Structure 1
Amino acid sequence: MQRLTLTLTLALTAQATLAQDTPDGQWHGGLSVAGAFASGNSSSRTLSANANASLATARDKISLYGLANYGRNKVDGINATTADLLRVGGRYDFNLGPQLFSFGAAEGETNKAGGVRDRYNLTGGVGYHLVKNEANSWDVFGGLGYTASKLTDGSNANGVQVLLGEESSHKLSETTTLKQRLVYYPGGGDLGDRATFDAGLATTISGAWTLNAGLSSRYSDRVPTGTKKTDNLLTVGFGYKF
């Protein structure tokens, strides 16, 4: 693994790892900022931020998200950046029927510690609601996307890729919700195989305050020499949802 960053700390501001999909025409979501600091024989600092929002109606849904993670260590007077990630994106879903929907999405990312100077994706396709009720939902989807990547070794990887994915949401109890999403991009041209996985667990502890855990994992078959192919980010903290 490129790195497994674990942040166990109280959020400094609000967090709602899981945006709600209630089709009420209102925005739901949240924001989190977390950090860990150490000093002494060695010093380190880790900062992470997570934001998401969604607006759903009976006809369509807009989803927006952002993720940032920065880490830096100093040992024996030598500074090293251990994490340098920024990812933002959005998706629009339009219901074609009770089960069938279409979607379009865009995402931008930089992750220099992971070998990616910048990467942009534009995707579109269709999906199907396998399960959709008040407690659980499970969708499968597929389509085509265009990816433009510039790696830290100066090389480029651009082209069209097929995408296949699934995502689900589960109301485990009156206070706990779990969401997960897996997308696979089969190898195409210089891009190689890619896969992304995101999961989040939120438990209400008082009013709108929640205890949250999130996992973001990225795999890329095409990385600069000396860079590992898998990146993982695990965060845990308190938050607030709206």
Structure 2
Amino acid sequence: MTRSTLLLTALCLTCPAALAQDTPDGRWHGGLSLSGALASGNTSSRTLAANADTSRATADDKISLYGIANYGRSRVGGVSTTTADLLRVGGRYDFNLGARWFSFGGAEGETNEAGGVRDRYSLNGGVGHHLVKNDAHLWDVFAGVGYTDTRATDGTRADGAQALFGEESSHKLSDTTSLKQRLVYYPGGGELGDRATFDAGLATTLSGSWTLNAGLSSRYSSRVPAGTRKTDNLLTMGFGYKF
């Protein structure tokens, strides 16, 4: 998959949808959050961040799609530098095995050259358990195994089997405010190394379907190209739309 294909996929995800609801009515629910900044003068810069999350749930299964994009570029003294070019899209299918247990299969694609990743693709599957499940709160834990293929900006490549352990939750804090978070740990051997991801989003309804959003995305990788930091953090504040 090329970077242009990844970008097109991300735009498709952000167009319909940052906080998806798990109402089992067989309809798509989700949201989009956008934020950005533009500066000019002695120093010129522009940044844009987008988060999307949408899902379709029934009594038997659930399909979830998500995307995150962050682009930044600055110009100082006539020299232009790309400061951020993160793009990540993915999806997961859950099938209920009972009232509390479910199986899942997922896929994800990512590019983040500023963070040392030219491209990364992964497929995974496993089982999960609903620790809490009611109208206001949902908290799941899950574990599985998959395959990851990573190509770094220094030309190196690492691929192979990789386990995953994670938890995620969504909370209806009030009639107008919702919170969603997800933490996943990928222990790796050999050249893959260890990875961890954390995403959280808070949305408050302003009027109708329009929302005020805050988001946090954090990534850790134990193996990165020389001169690249192991941890990347993205904090966003912006407006969104949900349905």
Tell me which interval the TM-score lies in, with the shorter structure as reference length.
over 0.9
Query: 2:191 maps to which residue?
Result: 190
Query: 2:9 maps to which residue?
Result: none
Change in CA separation of 1:14 and 1:175 when aligned onto 2, cut-off 3 Å: farther
The one-letter code of the counterpart of 1:84 is D
Moved over 3 A (4+): 13-16
CA RMSD of aligned residues (A): 1.4
Indicate the structure with greater helix content.
2
Mapped to 1, the partners of 2:21 and 2:100 lie a distance apart of 19
Deviation of 1:53 after TM superposition, in Å, equals 1.3
Q: Tell me the TM-score normalized by structure 2.
A: 0.92
Query: 2:112 maps to which residue?
Result: 111
Query: 2:157 maps to which residue?
Result: 156
Specify which structure has the bigger relative contact order, considering alpha-carbon pairs within 8 angstroms and separated by 6 or more residues: 1
Mapped to 2, the partners of 1:238 and 1:83 lie a distance apart of 21
Deviation readout 1:96-122 (Å, 9 max, x if unpaired): 000000000000000000000000010
Query: 1:20 maps to which residue?
Result: 21
1:113 partner SS: helix
The one-letter code of the counterpart of 1:154 is G
Q: Which runs of 5+ in 2 are unaligned?
A: 1-13
The one-letter code of the counterpart of 1:49 is A
Deviation of 1:32 after TM superposition, in Å, equals 3.3
Deviation of 1:65 after TM superposition, in Å, equals 1.1
The one-letter code of the counterpart of 1:98 is A
Query: 1:235 maps to which residue?
Result: 236
The one-letter code of the counterpart of 2:238 is G
Deviation readout 1:13-44 (Å, 9 max, x if unpaired): 98962011100000011233332110000100
The aligned length equals: 230
CA contact (8 A) 1:14 1:239 kept: no
Change in CA separation of 1:193 and 1:151 when aligned onto 2, cut-off 3 Å: same
Mapped to 1, the partners of 2:176 and 2:241 lie a distance apart of 13
1:32 partner SS: strand
Query: 2:3 maps to which residue?
Result: none
Query: 2:11 maps to which residue?
Result: none
CA contact (8 A) 1:15 1:240 kept: no
Mapped to 2, the partners of 1:117 and 1:57 lie a distance apart of 37
Q: Which runs of 5+ in 1 are unaligned?
A: 1-12
Identity %: 77
Deviation readout 1:152-190 (Å, 9 max, x if unpaired): 000001111110000011111111111100000112221
Deviation of 1:52 after TM superposition, in Å, equals 2.1
Deviation of 1:47 after TM superposition, in Å, equals 1.4
Matched, 1:146 2:147: yes
CA contact (8 A) 1:14 1:32 kept: no
Change in CA separation of 1:152 and 1:14 when aligned onto 2, cut-off 3 Å: closer
CA contact (8 A) 2:34 2:240 kept: no
After TM superposition, list the pairs within 5 Å mapping 1:73-152 onto structure 2.
73-152=74-153
Mapped to 1, the partners of 2:155 and 2:137 lie a distance apart of 44
Q: Tell me the TM-score normalized by structure 1.
A: 0.92
Query: 1:199 maps to which residue?
Result: 200
Mapped to 2, the partners of 1:225 and 1:129 lie a distance apart of 41
